[in-house]
Chain A
Amino acid sequence: MSSVPIQYFLVVAAALFVIGSVGFLLRRNLLVLLMSIELMLNAVNLTLVAYNRAQPLNLSATGTPVDHTGQILAFFVIAVAAAEAAVGLAIVLAFFRVRRSVRSDDADILRN
């Protein structure tokens, strides 16, 4: 039933995290920056769920037959990511209203 080793999932998650952070460093479109953050959060979620699958079951401590800590953490990460996307996109809209641009380099009012 479980023929795919856990390391494969971890390597994919690490590669996705690297792609997301490289996009965050390279791009200057605010929308693409937010999407890169979503990629990184997804990579972290994949790692959490993979470790939840791999860990030995905790039978005695809680009394429940299954331990879901990693999946619950991933669930909360999804909720926080949704809130972050909503607020981030609202900030992008407000920024666009001020500067007529979505380039992160244009956010320099405090510098000048």
Chain B
Amino acid sequence: MKTFELLFFGFCTLMVLLGGVVTVGAKNPIRGAMGLLGTIAGIAGMYLGLHAEFLAAVQFIVYAGAVVVLFLFVIMLLGPSATSPRDARTAIPRYFGAAVFVATAAAAMGVLIRAGTGPTTLAEAPAKLGTIEGLGHELFTKAVVPFELSGALLLIAVVGAVAVARGRQPDPTMLPAAEKVKQDAHHPPAATAVAQPSERARRELGAHGKDAS
């Protein structure tokens, strides 16, 4: 049991870190999205090891099912221009900034490791930790206001995303009256030609409907 858990943890670690490196390093954003998918799956596996089964399911549904698919949709909408060419204009400051960050993080991790570790094994988890029942009870009692607010946040985000992504398009119903008249004058025969068959079709449909009933 112990070796199996350690093996599973190692496998998830490999997926998380490899996926992260692929996400950051891939030239093609589609490959990056696949790396993100690997990271998300690895994190979901770690949630299982930490007694957060419900969060593991949510992670798969929300991240793998929605966020990564959204990324893929946008990449496909952009087409080949989603891959931006590399250029070396500001390469040195960027790499310098990244190196400073990595050095700081490595130093912090080194200090933490030198400071020693606590107990290496955890106490037995209570039965309801991370289940839908346990988490849901707390979500709907202690955290019910933030829960409702997150619903409002998601609604606003969806409306805002649609508004931003559609851009500014002319609304046909808001055209000035003069233009509308001009448009009508341009296509009067087409309008009548469309209207007549549709009228006849509607009558036929009505007749069929009467027959059927």
Task: Please list the residues of chain A having a beta carbon within 8 angstroms of any beta carbon in chain B.
Answer: 1-9, 11-12, 14-23, 25-29, 31-32, 34-36, 38-39, 42, 45-46, 49-50, 52-54, 57, 62, 64-68, 71-72, 74-76, 78-87, 89-94, 96-97, 100-103, 105
- With A25-B97, A27-B24 known as contacts, the answer to whether A74 contacts B102 (CB < 8 A) is no
Which residues from A are CB-within-8-Å of B101?
A: 18, 21-22, 25
| Contact residues of B: prevailing secondary structure | helix
B163 CB to closest chain A CB (Å) equals: 8
Binds A, one of B45-53, B175-183, B195-203, B205-213: B45-53
- With A75-B139, A80-B150 known as contacts, the answer to whether A39 contacts B50 (CB < 8 A) is no
- Give the number of residue pairs across the A-B interface with Cβ within 8 Å: 240
Q: Are B165 and A90 interface neighbours, CB within 8 A?
A: yes
B108 CB to closest chain A CB (Å) equals: 8
Q: Specify which of A12, A28, A72, A90 is in contact with B143 (CB 8 Å cutoff).
A: A72
Which residues from B are CB-within-8-Å of A34?
A: 71
7 extra A-B contacts, CB within 8 A, seeds A46-B43, A76-B150:
A22-B101, A31-B71, A39-B24, A68-B130, A72-B142, A94-B164, A96-B81
Which residues from B are CB-within-8-Å of A7?
A: 117-118, 120
- Report the interface size for chain B: residues with CB under 8 A from the other chain: 90
Q: Are A18 and B102 interface neighbours, CB within 8 A?
A: yes
A111 CB to closest chain B CB (Å) equals: 14
Q: Are A46 and B46 interface neighbours, CB within 8 A?
A: yes
Q: Which residue of A lies closest to B123 (CB)?
A: A2
Q: Can you list 12 contacts pairing A with B, beta carbon distance less than 8 Å? A: A2-B122, A4-B9, A20-B20, A20-B24, A22-B101, A31-B82, A42-B39, A72-B138, A72-B143, A89-B70, A93-B74, A94-B167
